[in-house]
Amino acid sequence: MTKTNSNLSIRLGLCCQFLEEPIKFRNTTVKANSQMERTAALEKLARLCKENAEALQSSLEYCDAHDIGCFRINSQILPLKTHPECGYDMQDLPEGPAIVKLFQQCGEYAREHDIRTCFHPDQFVVLNSPREEVVTRSIAELEYQSEVAEWVNADVVNIHGGGAYGDKASALTQFAKNFRRLSKRARSRLTVENDDTTYIPADLLPLCQQIGIPLVYDAHHHRCLPDDLSVEEATEQALQTWDREPMFHISSPLEGWQGPKPNRHHDFINRRDFPRCWEGRELTVEVEAKAKEQAVLKLMRSLRRRNS
């Protein structure tokens, strides 16, 4: 049974950070790290990782207190983890095993309080790139995030389809080929999402069926880059790709659907943009809005009123 508020079956998700809450995740830069002596750099990275584990625990506690059923974890939760010069293994860090334990405790808390966690790697993760060095780096990033996902009980590591490179069919074949290079831990969590520039749901659904991964259906992207499927049809077909609770995305356009760039996200979600066909289902809907927790809470109130 999903974590829902009183009359909603939908689990709403908060993405990565807060607007008003004093919960902050820490990061650092390659420049700052590379200018430090390695021992000092590792000490700093250990401190940042520990603080981020503590911030994640606070985030999960906030979600539990406010009936927010999902939290997306920032890809840089372990800063610079896979960087070719500054990267590290957890055993390299002072008190590395203790830091891992803190993340595992977050996973235990999430499991006990029915809070779903997930990851959405950065745009440089392109599994179908024609450049081997990009694919190699992408695989390393997916393996890192899947390892942390295992610690924190996350069941989704979601990426976009990548580039088309002049031939979508060949590009998706390459995606499937490189997918098989991932570990079982990464393959079991990987999902793919339709985007607003290249891959429509109709492109990705056959890939999902072929290699057995779920489609994270983004209704906003679909409205920006439509295909022949209606929102209702795409929803139904996306649901069929899931072997666990489905996860979708919702956003509203910053300047309205008639504005110059409807792909840009608004601070909040316009209730009219939330598909009626999603209501009454047990699924996770991540709220991609600039007002973060305030947007999630406002949408929750709006849906509650609509369903009361």
The structural domains of the chain, with segments of one domain joined by +, span 10-305
Q: What percent of the chain has pLDDT over 90?
A: 95
Give the pLDDT band of residue 9 (cuts 50, 70, 90): confident
Mean pLDDT, the chain, whole residue set? 95
The residue-averaged pLDDT of 33-53 equals: 97
Query: Is the CATH code 2.60.200.20 the one for domain 10-305?
Result: no
Phi, psi of 159 (to 5 degrees): -130, 165
> Is the pLDDT score of 223 beyond 70?
yes
Q: How far is CA 186 from CA 119, 155, 161, 257, in A?
A: 12, 10, 16, 36
Identify the pLDDT of residue 306: 77
In this predicted structure, what is the pLDDT of residue 6? 44
Whole-structure pTM value: 0.95
Report the pLDDT value the prediction gives residue 308, as an integer from 0 to 100: 67
Cβ–Cβ under 8 Å, residues 243 and 258:
no
Query: In this predicted structure, what is the pLDDT of residue 307?
Result: 73
Question: Which DSSP state fits 74?
Answer: P
Query: Residue 22: pLDDT band by 50, 70, 90 thresholds?
Result: very high
Q: What is the pLDDT of residues 256-302, one digit of tens each?
A: 999 999 999 999 999 999 999 999 999 999 999 999 999 999 999 99
Q: Give the Cβ contact number of residue 255 at 10 Å.
A: 11
